[in-house]
């Protein structure tokens, strides 16, 4: 059993994908045309915000979002170190200085306390990642703190398409929010894609310029630090066709996660809490002190697993000794013990039972 079956996903949605491809072929419009405009409007409406600006991928979305709020070289930006280095990569592209917050052990996300401390340490923007499909439980309080202290809040929603907390959607809390449509995400394209959403029209306008050479109008470059980072019409058309199916896929993912949490009984394994609509089960991540042994056991019975993520950002080789004095105990403990089990909408109930059985039989 694979960890994520893109082939099955495309096969199950072949009708929608074919419709999208046909539409673009017939229109002859391949860059920044009606499909991109249509999807931007539909996705903004889905999240419940004013505007959506699509870009080439999720990492570009983070970089352009940071630049849109004025982050430049040398500025401190706070984020967590357990979320795969994406936000940090965006900061490094700008020359910004990452300030790492430790995460809460249970939610594996930034807490309001850590955000307050980061702002005291001079952070000029905050990136909160809704990891594994779970909205950071403190997000509303974090948004209040950021507003009071006038520090822009950016949500990284690349793992949280469609997650809701108190009927507000992931992406509707921050000044800006970033999404990835990488094929394995809860809403995935047929290749790379990304988006920035925002309630603030002036930030959307800034992002629009930054995604296309810094143009204020054609051939007139007004914004520094700009890029060429566009979503193409084919991907926008595919996403437009798939968006109406997202909630049903999330429901299926949640159902799989609930079966796991109810069925896993091995005392050496710690299963995550799940249940609410704040969790869209992008990844189902357990903890165990004997990770290598469990991985090996599952591999032997034909079940793939993965680790999200093995190397915390502050310990990445790219930094050399720069963060050698920084300790993030929760982040470091999680990196040593987390293990991701297969969880995707096309899994059958029998697949889920097989995984539960195999984990419970491990000793
Ligand atoms: C996938 C992911 C990204 C990056 O998206 P790309 O489209 O691959 O650049 C950013 N943040 C998180 C949390 C992700 O999971």
CATH assignment at residue 347: 3.90.1150.10
| CA pair distance 104, 137, nearest whole angstrom | 10
In this structure, the answer to whether residues 237 and 272 fall within a common structural domain is: no
Mapped onto helix, strand or coil, the DSSP state of residue 287 is strand
Q: For the whole prediction, is pTM greater than 0.85?
A: yes
CATH at 76: 3.40.640.10
| Average confidence (pLDDT) per 10 residues, the chain, 363 residues | 96 98 97 98 98 98 98 98 98 98 97 98 98 97 98 98 96 98 98 98 98 97 96 98 98 98 98 91 98 98 98 98 98 98 98 98 96
In this structure, the answer to whether residues 264 and 234 fall within a common structural domain is: no
Name the residue of 54, 59, 63 whose CB sits within 8 Å of the most ligand 1 atoms, as the mutation to test its pocket.
59
Q: Answer yes or no: is 148 within a domain.
A: yes
| CA pair distance 1, 201, nearest whole angstrom | 45
Q: Answer yes or no: is 271 within a domain.
A: yes
In this structure, the answer to whether residues 239 and 282 fall within a common structural domain is: no
> Which atom of ligand 1 is least distant from the CA of 193?
7
Q: How far is the CA of 84 from the centre of ligand 1 (A)?
A: 8
In this structure, the answer to whether residues 184 and 316 fall within a common structural domain is: no
Residues in the chain, total: 363
What pLDDT, on a 0 to 100 scale, did the predictor assign at position 167? 87
Boundaries of domain holding 347 = 246-361
Q: Which backbone phi and psi does 152 adopt, to 5 degrees?
A: -60, 140
In this structure, the answer to whether residues 138 and 228 fall within a common structural domain is: yes
What pLDDT, on a 0 to 100 scale, did the predictor assign at position 14? 98
Q: Whose CA is nearest to atom 5 of ligand 1?
A: 58
Q: Answer yes or no: is 304 within a domain.
A: yes
Q: How far is the CA of 343 from the centre of ligand 1 (A)?
A: 18
Strand partners for 156: 129, 178
Ligand 1 shell residues, CB under 6 Å: 57-59, 83-84, 86, 129, 156, 158-159, 180, 182, 192, 194
Q: How far is the CA of 86 from the centre of ligand 1 (A)?
A: 6
Is residue 98 within a helix (H) or strand (E), and if so which, with residue range?
Answer: strand 97-101
In this structure, the answer to whether residues 210 and 352 fall within a common structural domain is: no
Q: Is residue 1 a contact partner of residue 302, using CB atoms and an 8 Å limit? A: yes
In this structure, the answer to whether residues 205 and 84 fall within a common structural domain is: yes
> Which atom of ligand 1 is least distant from the CA of 130?
13
Q: Whose CA is nearest to atom 13 of ligand 1?
A: 158
Name the residue of 58, 81, 160, 185 whose CB sits within 8 Å of the most ligand 1 atoms, as the mutation to test its pocket.
58
Name the residue of 180, 181, 282, 285 whose CB sits within 8 Å of the most ligand 1 atoms, as the mutation to test its pocket.
180
What pLDDT, on a 0 to 100 scale, did the predictor assign at position 159? 98
What pLDDT, on a 0 to 100 scale, did the predictor assign at position 143? 98
Q: Is residue 192 a contact partner of residue 59, using CB atoms and an 8 Å limit? A: no
Which long-range contacts link 313-321 to residues 24+ away (Cβ below 8 Å)?
Answer: 313/79, 313/80, 313/81, 313/82, 313/83, 313/85, 313/88, 313/98, 313/100, 314/81, 314/98, 314/100, 315/81, 316/85, 316/88, 318/92
Q: Answer yes or no: is 23 within a domain.
A: yes
Strands 164-165 vs 220-221: parallel, antiparallel or unpaired: unpaired
Active site residue 199: no
For the chain, the domain total comes to: 2
Crossing angle of the two packed helices 246-263 and 349-361, in degrees rounded to 10: 30
Q: Answer yes or no: is 1 within a domain.
A: no
3-state secondary structure 116-147: HHHHHCCCCEEEEECHHHECCCCHHHHHHHHH
Q: Answer yes or no: is 356 within a domain.
A: yes
Q: Among residues 219, 244, 269, which one ends one of the domains? A: 244
Q: Whose CA is nearest to atom 4 of ligand 1?
A: 58
Q: Answer yes or no: is 335 within a domain.
A: yes
Residue 311: CB atoms within 10 Å: 14
> Which atom of ligand 1 is least distant from the CA of 57?
7
In this structure, the answer to whether residues 324 and 342 fall within a common structural domain is: yes
Residues 79, 80, 81: CA angle, nearest 5 degrees: 125
> Which atom of ligand 1 is least distant from the CA of 62?
10
Mapped onto helix, strand or coil, the DSSP state of residue 174 is coil
In this structure, the answer to whether residues 110 and 221 fall within a common structural domain is: yes
> Which atom of ligand 1 is least distant from the CA of 83?
13
Q: Among residues 244, 268, 297, which one ends one of the domains? A: 244
In this structure, the answer to whether residues 55 and 124 fall within a common structural domain is: yes
In this structure, the answer to whether residues 214 and 341 fall within a common structural domain is: no
What pLDDT, on a 0 to 100 scale, did the predictor assign at position 29? 97
In this structure, the answer to whether residues 234 and 349 fall within a common structural domain is: no
Q: Among residues 244, 261, 278, which one ends one of the domains? A: 244
Q: Answer yes or no: is 73 within a domain.
A: yes
Catalytic residue among 185, 218, 299, 336: 185
Burial of 291 (0-12, 13-18, 19+ CB in 10 A): middle
Crossing angle of the two packed helices 201-211 and 58-68, in degrees rounded to 10: 120
């Amino acid at each position: 059993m694979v960890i994520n079956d893109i082939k099955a996903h495309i096969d199950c949605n072949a009708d929608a994908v074919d419709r999208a491809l046909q539409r673009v072929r017939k229109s002859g419009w391949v860059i920044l045309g009606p499909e991109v405009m249509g999807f931007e409007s539909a996705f903004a409406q889905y999240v419940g915000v004013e505007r959506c600006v699509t870009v080439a991928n999720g990492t570009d979305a983070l970089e352009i979002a940071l630049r849109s709020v004025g982050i430049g070289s040398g500025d401190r930006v706070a984020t967590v170190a357990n979320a795969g280095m994406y936000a940090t990569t965006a900061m490094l592209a700008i020359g910004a200085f990452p300030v790492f917050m430790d995460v809460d052990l249970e939610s594996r996300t930034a807490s309001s306390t850590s955000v307050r401390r980061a702002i005291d340490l001079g952070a000029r923007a905050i990136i909160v990642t809704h990891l594994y499909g779970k909205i950071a439980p403190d997000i509303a309080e974090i948004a209040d703190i950021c507003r009071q202290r006038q520090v822009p809040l950016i949500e990284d929603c690349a793992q949280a398409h469609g997650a809701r907390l108190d009927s507000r959607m992931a992406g509707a809390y921050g000044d800006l929010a970033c999404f990835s449509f990488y094929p394995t995400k809860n809403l995935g394209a047929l290749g790379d894609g990304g988006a920035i959403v925002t309630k603030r029209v002036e930030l959307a306008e800034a992002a629009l310029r930054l995604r296309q050479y810094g143009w204020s109008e054609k051939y007139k470059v007004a914004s520094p630090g700009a890029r060429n980072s566009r979503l193409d019409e084919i991907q926008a058309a595919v996403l437009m066709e798939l968006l109406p199916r997202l909630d049903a896929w999330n429901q299926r993912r949640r159902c799989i996660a609930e079966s796991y949490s109810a069925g896993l009984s091995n005392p050496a394994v710690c299963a995550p809490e799940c249940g609410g609509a704040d969790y869209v089960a992008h990844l189902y991540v357990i903890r165990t002190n004997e990770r290598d042994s469990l991985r090996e056991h599952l591999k032997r019975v034909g079940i793939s697993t993965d680790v999200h993520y093995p190397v915390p950002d502050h310990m990445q080789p790219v930094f050399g000794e720069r963060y050698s004095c920084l300790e993030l105990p929760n982040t470091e403990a999680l990196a040593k013990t987390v293990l991701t089990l297969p969880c995707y909408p096309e899994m059958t109930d029998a697949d889920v039972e097989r995984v539960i059985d195999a984990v419970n039989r491990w000793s």
